Structure 1
Amino acid sequence: MGNKNLRNATVALLTPLPSIFFYLTFLNRHSAATDDDSLSNLWSWCHHHPLLLANILFFLNVDLHFWLVGLLQSSHWMIDLYWIVIPILLLHYFATHPLAVFDKWRSRLVVSLTWAWSLRLSHCYFRREKWQWGAREDWRFTDMRRDYGQNWWWISFFAIYISQQVFLMAICMPLYAIHWNEKGLNIWDAVAASVCLAGLTIVYFADTQMHRFVSRNEKLKKEGKGRVAILEQGLWRYSRHPNYAGEQLWWCGIAIFGCNVEYDWWFVGPLANGVCLGIVTLLVEQRMLNKEFRAEAYRNYQKTTSVWLPWFKVHEQQKET
């Protein structure tokens, strides 16, 4: 287990280096050039096409490279880890590109918030995985691997990687817009930051409560005792998926930043994230209903508890009326 953990950690740290090295080389060549005419065709193209360059690097280094590594390891675990890192990489790419123009205070605020989001999600990921690298792939990918059988090797390229590029680029576009507009900081940035912080707070407590619940059930199982079927304490008393509600709130905050700098497509990110989380919600709930020991309890939970937005339980409302 120790050798596998070290190997996966090494793979995870090395795989993004081609894109990082290429971009740093571009920045170095650009800073050394006296004018645009002194740049080679390649570096000049990188200068004038920041979004296309970001998508090409994503395609080559994440879609293609990560996919090949996943095929060799028979596990597409790494995309889950890099879902945490890619928004950070894109954010700093947008902020450091030679064409970037922006208000430095808004940029610093968004950078700080995004790093807080990434660190929280990193902690949640490694805590859930018991501080191991690549211990398992997402259960949804495992289910698809079983369903698609021999065709999974090529379907996985589109189902996991291409789809995630479209999704991640869509939700991160406000980060691009923020660094392509010099509009000064205003009250809407405070609103956006407050929404982001509210989302981070909700998802942190929701994940922590779920982690304690899962850890307690694992302990009960080892002791040969009956497990608790459903978590109905804390935020989970008022929402079946408070973690998703918090995550959606976070991206809505990022979208408000984009709207404030007059990014016309600011709503696409929250919309895409909402659709994705909606699909995941259906998959998670079906999985819960397929577990015999908690199926009946979860059906009752569905009847009495809000899906995303925290709200009073149905029977509590009835008592009040």
Structure 2
Amino acid sequence: MRTYRIGGALAEASRTAAFGVVGGSYLVAGLGAALTWQLAGSQHPLTSALYADLVATLLVFAASMVLANASVYDPYWSVAPPLVLVGWIVATEDGIALRQFLVTALVTVWALRLTANWARGWSGLRHEDWRYRQLRAQTRGRLPWWLVNLAGIQLMPTLVVFAGLLSGWPAVAGNRAFGPLDVLAVLVTVAAIGLEAVADGQLRRFAADPANRGRICDRGLWRYSRHPNYLGEIAFWWGLWLFGLAADPTWWWTVIGPLTVLTLFVGATIPLMERRSVDRRPGYAAHRREVPMLLPRPPVRRRIPD
């Protein structure tokens, strides 16, 4: 196909050029989302944001097909949320300014760190996530790749993140006075961002040491949880829900957002990562018995034979 020839040619582009191509693709997606938002201006801000989010996803999907690289979508998880929140703040005439500032600031910090973490590990257009390559191989001959890419890799995460963001609307539009639940929301969200950042940094330093090749990371936070970075990501969305609950308790039902994120990680992301680790790292099965999947506990002491 012509798209794959284009993607193959660009795969050899420099890392800087690759970021330029992806940045240009996201700029086009952003313009498409902004236009959609304007055209849907008579709708509720939640509906307008959903339409804009879907249009942006479709445009990023188109770019991923032209470039023959599904990982073009990867930063979308963290790029979209702060933009949606800003749109909602502009659209509302209510809300508590302090809460709006804190929610937007924390989501922006989370987004910048997560996007930077992706950029640090992305080597260019020749780099595609191993999970996508595996999915392509597993579905080849059974389903068209464009459908797998759109539905499984791009559209599904967009809807999961949007579900997580539902509580962001009452968080910025609700006018209940700033109170203790907001303080708890700040503490949970800051702790979640910090946990994820520290865990990612520890894993990056561990993997960078050639002496650790093929070994299991069981240092620092990874000694107490097999996936402390994912625990931080899950906790972040619970923090956002607490902000929404503090601002307007009638929106309690937006708890479906963090529950959806939790289901994604526990039901799909973590099992896939763990199956790969079992296959590639000797001793990982024993590691699973000794270290909990998410919630930390004191490490199990290995019994020393007499």
Structure 1 residue 47 corresponds to structure 2 residue 42: yes
Q: What is the one-letter code of the residue matched to 2:218?
A: E
Structure 1 residue 270 corresponds to structure 2 residue 258: yes
Cα contact 2:75–2:118 (8 A) shared by 1:
yes
Structure 1 residue 59 corresponds to structure 2 residue 69: no
Give the aligned CA root-mean-square deviation in angstroms.
Answer: 2.4
Q: Rg bigger for which structure?
A: 1
**What CA distance in whole angstroms lies between the structure 1 residues aligned with 2:50 and 2:245?**
22
**What CA distance in whole angstroms lies between the structure 1 residues aligned with 2:153 and 2:256?**
20
Q: What is the one-letter code of the residue matched to 1:94?
A: W
TM-score, with length taken from structure 1 = 0.82
Structure 1 residue 111 corresponds to structure 2 residue 143: no
Q: Which residue number corresponds to residue 286 of structure 1? A: 275
**Residues 210-264 of structure 1: per-residue CA shift (max 9 Å, x gap):** 0011111xx34xxxxx735111111111111111111111111111111112213
Q: Once the two structures are aligned, what percentage of the paired residues are identical? A: 25
Q: What is the one-letter code of the residue matched to 1:11?
A: V
Cα contact 2:12–2:126 (8 A) shared by 1:
no
Q: Which residue number corresponds to residue 74 of structure 1? A: 68
Cα distance, 1:314 vs. partner? 2.6
**What CA distance in whole angstroms lies between the structure 2 residues aligned with 1:25 and 1:240?**
43
Cα distance, 1:135 vs. partner? 4.7
Q: How many residues align?
A: 289
Question: 5 Å matches for 1:109-188?
Answer: 109-129=102-122, 132-150=123-141, 151-188=144-181
Q: Which residue number corresponds to residue 27 of structure 2? A: 17
Unaligned 5+ residue runs, structure 1? 28-41, 221-225
Q: Which residue number corresponds to residue 35 of structure 1? A: none
Q: What is the one-letter code of the residue matched to 1:96?
A: V
**Residues 184-208 of structure 1: per-residue CA shift (max 9 Å, x gap):** 2111111000001111111111111
TM-score, with length taken from structure 2 = 0.86
Q: What is the one-letter code of the residue matched to 2:286?
A: N
1:134 and 1:115, CA in 2 relative to 1: closer, same or farther beyond 3 A? farther
1:244 and 1:177, CA in 2 relative to 1: closer, same or farther beyond 3 A? same
Match of 1:208 among 198, 201, 211: 201
**Residues 123-177 of structure 1: per-residue CA shift (max 9 Å, x gap):** 3222223xx4445222211111111114222222111222122211100111112
**What CA distance in whole angstroms lies between the structure 2 residues aligned with 1:286 and 1:304?**
17
Q: What is the one-letter code of the residue matched to 1:61?
A: A
**What CA distance in whole angstroms lies between the structure 2 residues aligned with 1:25 and 1:169?**
19
Q: What is the one-letter code of the residue matched to 1:300?
A: A
Unaligned 5+ residue runs, structure 2? 1-10
